[in-house]
Amino acid sequence: MRITESQLRRIVREEVANRVNRGSFLKEAVYGALATVYHVTKMDMEEEWNGDMEVLALDDPRADFYGGGLLCTINPPSEVKGYANVLKIPVNLSQFLILDEDVCMRVHGDAVSPMEQVNKMRNKAYLRKAISNVENLRLHSQGEFSADVAHNIGASPALTDFLQGVVFTSRREGKCVIIYDLSEVYPMGY
């Protein structure tokens, strides 16, 4: 028996609705070290995108403030005016520097300081030295903005070359992830 694409979409929609109603559908954006993040782009994914994540990163000038990379939000964007697509991207945050206490608690199970996080990362000896110069490097409580610290990290190529990314809170976008290492990042949908 063959099933059409519209029938499959209807079945998936019904199953998701059933799971949400039963409360068995995961509602958190960050679960353990895994997170689902969202990137908005003006690029037409069907017509213009060639599958290279670097192209998407270069297409977003907002990421330049944080040292380049791919700027994503942890929560789905509430407003997408002027953007063609919203990409949904799975990311493993275990090697990311996390500046927000609530996200750190979900990923590491404890309020681990940024310096302690660096000690768990690959390239830790190099990162420890480079990160010691970052001003105001600490975990930020719920409601605090950590974008300025993320900007200071992004201003140091010595850090952006060795960090996979940074998790922080922006005044405009809320909880954000800037992904520097795009080698293992690919959208699961748009």
**Tens of pLDDT, residues 56-105:** 788 788 888 888 899 998 887 766 666 668 888 999 998 899 999 999 99
Find, among 89, 92, 136, 133, the residue nearest to 113 by Cα. Answer: 136
Average pLDDT of 27-47? 76
Q: Are strands 165-170 and 97-98 parallel, antiparallel or unpaired?
A: parallel
- The answer to whether residues 147 and 170 touch, using CB atoms and an 8 Å cutoff, is yes
Residue 120 has pLDDT above 90, yes or no: no
Q: pTM of the full predicted structure?
A: 0.78
Q: What is the structure's pLDDT at 25?
A: 41
Q: How far apart are CA 139 and CA 132, in angstroms?
A: 15
Q: How far apart are CA 53 and CA 46, in angstroms?
A: 14
Q: What is the structure's pLDDT at 84?
A: 67
